[in-house]
């Protein structure tokens, strides 16, 4: 059977202009950081398969947890019923977060986690009869592909056809070191107007915008300003959660705390879809009411799926092992050393590191998702055995934490060889 032909006939792939892009390769097996392709080629999964697969592929502990759970409860309605793994997961996630964040709403992915966060924030004010309707977000943000998430994200060619259907959102500029203070003043001025319901941010790093990083000082100040005007704050930690930044969550780098946090991607070790929106008892209390319609009337068929919850609990077990944090530190340290080496060379680049994320922006290169540069770089790395999917003119790695030192040094060597060709 020609699987590629069948794929082309029936499968519609995401984020892909299928007319011009080559046929996708077929992955026959995946183990730890390696993908095994049809035809015998192997690829190192440098971006953890869309940033999700944090412990590597085929992790036996996660596998057993899913298997065991399947023998107990595979799936069950989550309204009027609950189950042990969802309760365990909610309890364990809450214990990892600041003590005020203790109410966990389940969904299926990053976009739904964000959608629910926005709905929670909007309804929080609505339930109290308080007129706070405006939403503040950051330019360049990506929060997902559902309509609420798109509305709060950067308006670009990804969502032009849908723009007329978006709700209105105010944006603050992305902070650079030199304009941080001015931007904080602007944010203060805006939020002092009193009718902002919520501020939504990707804390410390805008992922899809090209792993753009900003300071913990700016984040701390901005959250403080929002809270001083009683604006709720959502941290979209879909990408930054689960050790990516070197700490469990990006919020662990700052003093202030959000009112709502969105989690997904690495939550299940990246093997099953699951999203969580975690909030405070203060917000939850506004929905706890004798009037039934004041509840959060939102849910999905697979809300709280037991298999996904079991995988997530198993992933948390792995975080309890010292070895995982040693791996995160080792990857982070090697990233920093490599970044310094690159800085002292004369490549036309800007290098950024935060924890396990290393990003290299190629100066003067064509930007954008469909840039020729991106395709050429992608092809180069595939040819060299690396699945490394650039974001426009930014090449980056955010690998699984099981990546060995040898594999990481190999990735660096290939990146260096690529930079020499520029
Ligand atoms: C910060 C952030 N939020 C939300 C999303 C959307 O998550 P999903 O693709 O699971 O819907 C992403 C995906 O890349 C993301 O990086």
pLDDT digits over 46-102, tens only? Answer: 999 999 999 999 999 999 999 999 999 999 999 999 999 999 999 999 999 999 999
Sign of CA dihedral 87, 93, 95, 99: negative
- Whether 175 contacts 214, CB under 8 Å: yes
- Report the alpha-carbon distance of residue 368 to residue 94 in Å, rounded: 38
For ligand 1, atom 9, name the residue with the nearest CA.
110
CA distances in angstroms from 351 to 53, 354, 380, 418, listed in the order given: 24, 10, 20, 15
Give me the count of residues in the chain.
Answer: 422
pLDDT digits over 349-365, tens only? Answer: 999 999 999 999 999 87
Owner of token pair 């001015």: 182
Confidence band of 370 (pLDDT split at 50, 70, 90): confident
pLDDT digits over 225-254, tens only? Answer: 999 999 999 999 999 999 999 999 999 999
Cβ–ligand 1 contact at 208 (below 6 Å) = yes
- Report the alpha-carbon distance of residue 210 to residue 369 in Å, rounded: 10
Interval 279-283 mean pLDDT = 98
* Pair (112, 31) in one structural domain: no
Share of the chain above pLDDT 90, in %: 95
Query: Which of 290, 319, 348 is the last residue before a domain boundary?
Result: 319
* Pair (264, 127) in one structural domain: yes
How far does residue 299's CA lie from ligand 1's centre (Å)?
Answer: 19
Interval 15-29 mean pLDDT = 94
* Pair (196, 235) in one structural domain: yes
Residue 157 has pLDDT above 90, yes or no: no
Cβ–ligand 1 contact at 109 (below 6 Å) = yes
Query: Which of 269, 301, 319 is the last residue before a domain boundary?
Result: 319
The structure tokens listed for 121 are 């924030």
Contacts of 183 (CB under 8 A, 6+ apart): 172, 173, 175, 218
* Pair (75, 29) in one structural domain: no
Interval 25-52 mean pLDDT = 98
How far does residue 25's CA lie from ligand 1's centre (Å)?
Answer: 23
Count of domains in the chain?
A: 2
Per-residue pLDDT at 177: 86
Cβ–ligand 1 contact at 236 (below 6 Å) = yes
Sign of CA dihedral 43, 46, 47, 49: positive
3-state secondary structure of 134: strand
The structure tokens listed for 104 are 């966990």
- DSSP single-letter state for residue 135: E
Per-residue pLDDT at 211: 98
Query: Which of 289, 319, 349 is the last residue before a domain boundary?
Result: 319
* Pair (184, 66) in one structural domain: yes
* Pair (90, 109) in one structural domain: yes
Whole domain around residue 362: which residue ranges?
3-58+322-420
* Pair (231, 294) in one structural domain: yes
* Pair (229, 345) in one structural domain: no
Residue 368 has pLDDT above 90, yes or no: no
How far does residue 51's CA lie from ligand 1's centre (Å)?
Answer: 9
* Pair (165, 290) in one structural domain: yes
Q: Which ligand 1 atom is nearest residue 264's CA? A: 10
Interval 157-168 mean pLDDT = 94
* Pair (188, 65) in one structural domain: yes
Triad 108, 111, 116: Cα angle to 5°: 80
pLDDT digits over 166-213, tens only? Answer: 999 999 999 998 999 999 999 999 999 989 999 999 999 999 999 999
The structure tokens listed for 204 are 């410390």
Classify burial at 205, counting beta carbons within 10 Å of its beta carbon; exposed 0-12, middle 13-18, buried 19 or more. Answer: buried
- Report the alpha-carbon distance of residue 139 to residue 70 in Å, rounded: 43
- Whether 16 contacts 158, CB under 8 Å: no
* Pair (256, 394) in one structural domain: no
Q: Which ligand 1 atom is nearest residue 275's CA? A: 10
CATH number of the structural domain spanning residue 347: 3.90.1150.10
Interval 256-261 mean pLDDT = 98
Cβ–ligand 1 contact at 111 (below 6 Å) = yes
* Pair (366, 223) in one structural domain: no
CATH number of the structural domain spanning residue 132: 3.40.640.10
């Amino acid at each position: 059977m020609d699987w590629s032909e069948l794929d082309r006939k029936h499968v519609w792939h995401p984020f892909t202009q299928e007319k011009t892009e080559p046929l996708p390769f077929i992955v026959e097996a995946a183990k730890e950081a390696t993908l095994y392709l049809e035809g015998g080629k192997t690829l190192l999964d440098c971006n953890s398969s869309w940033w999700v697969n944090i412990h590597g592929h085929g992790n036996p502990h996660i596998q057993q947890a899913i298997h065991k759970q399947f023998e107990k409860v595979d799936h069950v309605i989550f309204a009027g019923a609950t189950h042990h793994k969802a309760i365990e997961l909610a309890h364990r996630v809450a214990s990892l977060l600041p003590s005020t964040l203790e109410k966990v709403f389940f969904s299926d992915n990053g976009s739904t986690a964000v959608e629910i966060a926005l709905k929670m924030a909007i309804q929080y004010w609505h339930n109290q009869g308080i007129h706070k309707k405006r939403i503040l977000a950051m330019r360049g943000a990506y929060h997902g592909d559902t309509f609420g998430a798109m509305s709060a994200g950067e308006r670009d060619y990804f969502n032009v056809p849908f723009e007329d259907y978006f709700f209105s959102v105010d944006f603050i500029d992305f902070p650079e070191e030199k304009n941080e203070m001015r931007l904080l003043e602007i944010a203060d001025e805006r939020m002092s107007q009193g009718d902002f319901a919520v501020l939504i941010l990707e804390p410390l790093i805008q992922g899809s915008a090209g792993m753009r990083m900003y300071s913990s000082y700016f984040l701390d100040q901005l959250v403080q300003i929002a809270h001083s005007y009683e604006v709720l704050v959502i941290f979209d930690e879909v990408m930054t959660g689960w050790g990516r930044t070197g700490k469990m969550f990006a919020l662990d780098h700052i003093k202030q705390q959000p009112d709502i946090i969105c989690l997904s991607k690495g939550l299940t070790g990246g093997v099953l879809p699951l999203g969580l929106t975690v909030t405070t008892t203060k917000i939850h209390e506004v929905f706890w009411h004798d009037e039934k319609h004041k509840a959060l009337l939102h849910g999905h068929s697979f809300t709280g799926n037991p298999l996904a919850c079991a995988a997530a609990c198993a992933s948390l077990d792995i975080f309890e092992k010292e070895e995982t944090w040693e791996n995160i530190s080792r990857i982070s340290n090697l990233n920093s050393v490599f970044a310094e080496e690159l800085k002292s060379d004369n490549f036309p680049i800007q290098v950024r590191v935060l924890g396990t994320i290393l990003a290299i922006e190629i100066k003067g290169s064509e930007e954008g998702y469909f840039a020729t540069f991106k395709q050429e770089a992608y092809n180069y790395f595939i040819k060299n055995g690396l699945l490394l999917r650039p974001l426009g003119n930014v090449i980056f790695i955010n690998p699984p934490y099981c990546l060995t030192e040898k594999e990481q040094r190999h990735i660096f060597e290939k990146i260096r060889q690529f930079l020499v060709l520029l």
